[in-house]
């Protein structure tokens, strides 16, 4: 403890912890990426627009932040996010098209392609749109 604290009569200093605030939203998108990508960001915005949502309607984060959210539905974008959340090594294709459950609250979870994957493989966009419509029907 510094001399200044002692001069002020402060004998015990405790740093106040900020309470964790959970983000409450209808849809949380978990998208694991290495580096930000403008094209993927634009594509995600377009994907949301296709199901009548905006970026303001959703919370986009990574798996490490999922416990700070309260969502009606989780959309896991990409194999890494899906495998992490579902604690599996199953390939993305086998996880798509199903309604999974995440965590103790058993939050519904849907798996789809990551926008970067869709940029690399545009032929998968039709399947991603099917996944998005499925997600929208669950909201």
Residues counted in the chain: 139
Phi, psi for residue 110 in degrees, rounded to 5: -120, 145
> How is residue 139 written in tokens?
């909201």
DSSP code, position 55? G
DSSP state, residue 8 = T
Asked if the structure places residue 26 within a domain, the reply is yes
pLDDT at residue 43, rounded to an integer: 93
- Six-digit token pair at 105? 């609250």
pTM score, whole prediction: 0.81
69 close to 23: Cβ distance less than 8 angstroms: yes
Report yes or no on 79 lying in a domain.
Answer: yes
CATH number at residue 46: 3.40.470.10
Query: Is residue 93, in this structure, part of any structural domain at all?
Result: yes
- pLDDT tens sequence for the chain (139 residues): 456 556 655 555 555 554 455 566 788 889 876 666 889 989 999 999 999 999 889 988 888 878 777 889 999 999 999 999 999 999 999 999 999 999 888 999 999 999 999 999 999 999 999 999 999 999 8
| Number of folded domains that form the chain | 1
In whole angstroms, give the CA distance from residue 18 to residue 76. 28
Helix, strand, coil percent content, the chain, rounded in steps of 5: 45, 20, 35
Residue 12 maps to a domain: no
pLDDT tens figures, 63-98: 887 877 788 999 999 999 999 999 999 999 999 999
In which domain, by residue range, is 63 found? 22-138
Any domain includes 59: yes
């Amino acid at each position: 403890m510094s001399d200044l604290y002692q001069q002020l009569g402060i004998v015990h200093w405790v740093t106040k912890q900020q309470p964790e605030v959970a983000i409450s939203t209808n849809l949380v998108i978990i998208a694991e990426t290495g580096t930000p990508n403008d094209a993927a960001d634009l594509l995600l915005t377009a994907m949301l627009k296709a199901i009548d949502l905006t970026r303001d309607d959703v919370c986009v984060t990574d798996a490490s932040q999922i416990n700070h959210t309260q969502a009606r539905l989780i959309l896991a974008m990409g194999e890494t996010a899906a495998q992490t959340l579902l604690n599996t090594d199953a390939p993305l294709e086998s996880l798509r098209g199903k309604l999974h459950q995440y965590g103790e609250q058993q939050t519904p979870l849907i798996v789809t392609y990551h926008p970067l994957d869709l940029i690399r493989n545009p032929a998968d966009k039709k399947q991603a749109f099917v996944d998005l419509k499925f997600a929208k029907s669950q909201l």
